[in-house]
Structure 1
């Protein structure tokens, strides 16, 4: 089954993106599950490489790497925030609204955080 997660919130300040990434990772471990994660708006910052957080605090970039499926970032949102392709964690990549539309059309479930 294909499940699409769409995250909109910044990596820190609220726990919406954190919880979306946690659920994506947990679901990706289930048999016959295909997980895709699309980061848009302030959520593109979740995939910024080199984040340094206080000891004991979650690192959103690590969570993106461990999401367990394809991770697309809204290219327009990246540009608006000055986030370059070479600044994102391994496994995440620039994407488009067209690809998000394709992922949405083929998903059995779409979860928005």
Structure 2
């Protein structure tokens, strides 16, 4: 019998959450919701991955902050410092003219194969995109 505090993999109840974010950081509530969910999961001791696609990649660029709005760059930077793993759609970066030097340190260009790997390794996957 497996103790209640441990799952079958021996992870002491620690789960992996992957968030797929496809909305720009200032186009609605998706990015701030992703940040709040990630913080809650990290604070509870869980692993958090975030894969940004489409305009979601803008949340991980340096110096992209409209005046008078919450600072997505600082929020995502804090989460990454707390242990959130971030991968960004490489094609989405290329289409938007974004290069590695535009990205927050630790945010890595990736691919759909990378997204599939994150999904396969996750206990829970959430998708957040444009609210239309």
| 1:44-69 deviation per Cα after TM superposition (whole angstroms, max 9, x unaligned) | 011010134325x3111112212241
TM-score by length of 2: 0.78
> Considering only aligned residues, what root-mean-square deviation do their CA atoms show, in Å?
1.3
**Aligned residue among 30, 33, 53 for 1:40:** 53
Matched, 1:21 2:44: no
Partner of 1:61: 73
Partner of 1:74: 89
TM-score by length of 1: 0.91
Which protein is bigger by CA-based radius of gyration? 2
Where do 4+ consecutive residues of structure 1 move more than 2 Å?
51-55
SS in 1 for 2:76: helix
- 1:22 and 1:63 in contact (8 A); partners too: no
SS in 1 for 2:24: coil
- Structure 1: tracts of 5 or more residues without a match: none
Shift of 1:112: 0.7
